Every structure is written in structure tokens, then in C-alpha cells.
């Protein structure tokens, strides 16, 4: 009775974000077992590591799960090859041109969703034949669109434009926000930050601790001249900010970022010198919890919000 749940054959229209350094088989299988859709994040994996995670995920759940493939890495072809060999049936693509792989993946019987942050790419993805769109607002962690359009504005903007199922991403870690996103026209939600901070996330405990400690204004969209990315404030963030305030260009920012900075922060736990990617909604996340409790809390809050809004709607 819900287009996202039906498409992926899951209990709740709740998709876990396929985040680098956090979304291994432990997280993906836990989300699928909890009634959502788990996604292995291939962006930070060598192809054989991805294969290993897929195999372990199959052992850990008999529920559907998928793989997220960011299209900006050089090894994408190898990732796709592993996905086909391992019989994966759900692929989320992001950060690239949806025209490149969608038709090919669909021919292999794979359900394809693509992440967009503007109208142009939403139309392009639908033309390419995607089964669903992830509509990602400015408040999301990691790489965001240049337009900076927030979930509140972006979801209805894309809803008016296309008829495929929409999955709202960015700013969602509660049932209230899920309910709000669906009121705006989404059929389901994608949740990153809350799962990055979960017990089953492969992010470093020190990174998770930084997420739950994050308050008001703890993140900022940076590196707009390179690729916009939402970062948690730390020493590295301050270096980027100083460089940008001086007017630093693409090359300087790229050099400052260097290589392995995201791994250093999120996986190895150097929370000052590393790059920490997280959404604004970190400010609403209070503790590291197991995935099943996160999903239950979201669905309980969704049901409470439904009852509350039913009352409020009748009074207005």
C-alpha cells in the first residue's frame, strides 16, 4: 500500500543511506532485519571488499538489501561487475550521471534508484528509466547539491515534476520528520546520520560520539568550489573555513583535503584532523543505539505524529 515499501518488498518505507565508512554489511543487514532497506555503501570499498560485504550481508539477513554506488569514483565499473556477479537486485546510484548505468542495470533485472538534488537531474534520471528517486535536501550530510535547496522546498518541487516514487533524504531522523516529508509528497525516506551513529555502523566510536555531541549549527556545507560537502566542525573544518574565507580556489581546497581524509576521520577516529561527513540532523541525535531501536523509535514517533496531526487537522 506504499509505493516504496512495495517496490523494495520491505515493511517500512525507510531506506538507510549508503554512506562511506559507515555502511558495511553489519549496518545494512541490521536495517533490513528491522524492516527497512539496508544499503551497503560501496564508495569506500575496493571491489573485493564490496564482494565480501555482500556475501556477509546475505548470511546476516534473508530480507532485501541493496548497494549504493557513487558514480564519482574510478572503480565504478568494477563495483557494478561485483554487484552483477553477486546477484544484487537493488542499486542506488548517486553523485553522477544517471544515464550512464541505469538502462544497463535495468536490463539485468535490477531495481534502480538515483539520488538527485535538483529538477534537471530528476528529469534526467526519470528519462534514464529509474524506478525511484532519492530527493536530497541541503541539510543532508556528505555531498550535497550546488543549489542548496532544502528538503521542505525540494520534495514538492520534484513531486510536481515526476511520477516515480520519491524517497526524501536530508534532515530526517524521526517519525515527525518522516511524516513531514510524506506530507510534502515523498513516498518514503532515506536516513543517513541516525544510522551513521548506530551501534552497527562501522564508523569509529569517536566519530559516533562527535555526532551525538553535536548541537546547533555543528555542521556546515563547505568546499563549494570543489564538491559541496556537509562537514562536522573540527580542526580540519576550521582549516577549510579559513582557506575559503581567504578566497581559496579548487586546487588549494583539493590539496588541503588530500587523500584519505574521510577514512582518517570517520573510520580511524581522528575526529580533529579527519573529514567528518554528517547531516544537520546530528543536532537531534542524542545517543548511539542499535538499529532496531532506532527504527522502532522512528515508527512509534510516526504513529504518534499521525494521531496528533489527525487531531490538529480536524481543529483547523
User: Locate cell 540532523: which residue?
Assistant: 281
**Closest separation in Å from C-beta 288 to a copy of itself:** 19
Find the shortest distance in angstroms from Cβ 116 to a copy of itself: 11
Is 246 or 259 the residue whose CB approaches a copy of itself more closely? 246
Per the document, the length of the chain is 316
- Closer residue to a copy of itself, CB minimum distance, 151 or 202: 151
| Shortest separation between residue 172's beta carbon and a copy of itself, angstroms | 7
Give the Cα separation of 133 and 151 in Å (integer): 13
Quick one: 147 or 268, whose CB is closer to a copy of itself?
147
Least distance CB 216 / a copy of itself (angstroms): 5
Dist CA 13 CA 61 (whole Å) = 18
Closer Cβ to a copy of itself, 149 or 190, answer by number? 149
For a copy of itself, give the closer residue by CB, 2 or 292.
2
Nearest residue (CB) to a copy of itself, 101 versus 179: 179
Binding site for a copy of itself (CB under 8 A): 1-2, 5, 12-13, 118-120, 137-139, 145-153, 156-157, 160, 170-172, 174, 176-177, 179-185, 215-217, 220-221, 225, 245-248, 280-281, 283-284, 299, 302-303, 305-306, 308-310, 312-316
Provide the minimum distance between the beta carbon of 148 and a copy of itself in the complex, in angstroms, as a whole number.
7
- Burial class for 86, CB neighbours closer than 10 Å (0-12, 13-18, 19+): middle
Question: Cell 499521525 identifies what position?
Answer: 306
Of the two residues 106 and 119, which places its CB atom closer to a copy of itself in the complex?
119
Query: What Cα–Cα distance (Å) separates residue 182 from each residue in 148, 167, 242, 243, 262?
Result: 20, 9, 39, 39, 32
Closest distance of CB 88 from a copy of itself, Å: 26
Q: Please, which residue, 139 or 270, has the CB nearer to a copy of itself?
A: 139
CB of 2 to a copy of itself, least distance (A): 6
Smallest distance from a copy of itself to CB 32, Å: 18
Which set of grid coordinates corresponds to residue 110?
A: 535490477
Amino acid at each position: 500500500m506504499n509505493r516504496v515499501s512495495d517496490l523494495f518488498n520491505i515493511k517500512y518505507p525507510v531506506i538507510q543511506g549508503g554512506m562511506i565508512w559507515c555502511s558495511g554489511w553489519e549496518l545494512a543487514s541490521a536495517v533490513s532485519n528491522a524492516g527497512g532497506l539496508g544499503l551497503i555503501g560501496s564508495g569506500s570499498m575496493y571491489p573485493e571488499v564490496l564482494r565480501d560485504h555482500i556475501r556477509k550481508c546475505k548470511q546476516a539477513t534473508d530480507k532485501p538489501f541493496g548497494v549504493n554506488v557513487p558514480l564519482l569514483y574510478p572503480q565504478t565499473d568494477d563495483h557494478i561487475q561485483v554487484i552483477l556477479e553477486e546477484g544484487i537486485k537493488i542499486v542506488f546510484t548517486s553523485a553522477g550521471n544517471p544515464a550512464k548505468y541505469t538502462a544497463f542495470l535495468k536490463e539485468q533485472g535490477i531495481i534502480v534508484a538515483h539520488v538527485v538534488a535538483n529538477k534537471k537531474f530528476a528529469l534526467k534520471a526519470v528519462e534514464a528509466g529509474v524506478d525511484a528517486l532519492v530527493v536530497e535536501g541541503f541539510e543532508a550530510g556528505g555531498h550535497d547539491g550546488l543549489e542548496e535547496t532544502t528538503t521542505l522546498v525540494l520534495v514538492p518541487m520534484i513531486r510536481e515534476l515526476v511520477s516515480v516514487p520519491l524517497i526524501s533524504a536530508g534532515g530526517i531522523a524521526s517519525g515527525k520528520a518522516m511524516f513531514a516529508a510524506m506530507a510534502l509528497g515523498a513516498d518514503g525516506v532515506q536516513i543517513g546520520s541516525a544510522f551513521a551513529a548506530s551501534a552497527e555502523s562501522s564508523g569509529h566510536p569517536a566519530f559516533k560520539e562527535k555526532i551525538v555531541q553535536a548541537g546547533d549549527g555543528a555542521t556546515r556545507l563547505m568546499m563549494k568550489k570543489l564538491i559541496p560537502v556537509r562537514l562536522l566542525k573540527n580542526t580540519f573544518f576550521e582549516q577549510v573555513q579559513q582557506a575559503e574565507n581567504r578566497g581559496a580556489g579548487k586546487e588549494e581546497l583539493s590539496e588541503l583535503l588530500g587523500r584519505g581524509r574521510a577514512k582518517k576521520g570517520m573510520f580511524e577516529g581522528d575526529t580533529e584532523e579527519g573529514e567528518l561527513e554528517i547531516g544537520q540532523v546530528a543536532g537531534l541525535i542524542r545517543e548511539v543505539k542499535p538499529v532496531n531501536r532506532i527504527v522502532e523509535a522512528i515508527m512509534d514517533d510516526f504513529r504518534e505524529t499521525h494521531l496528533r496531526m489527525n487531531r490538529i487537522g480536524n481543529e483547523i
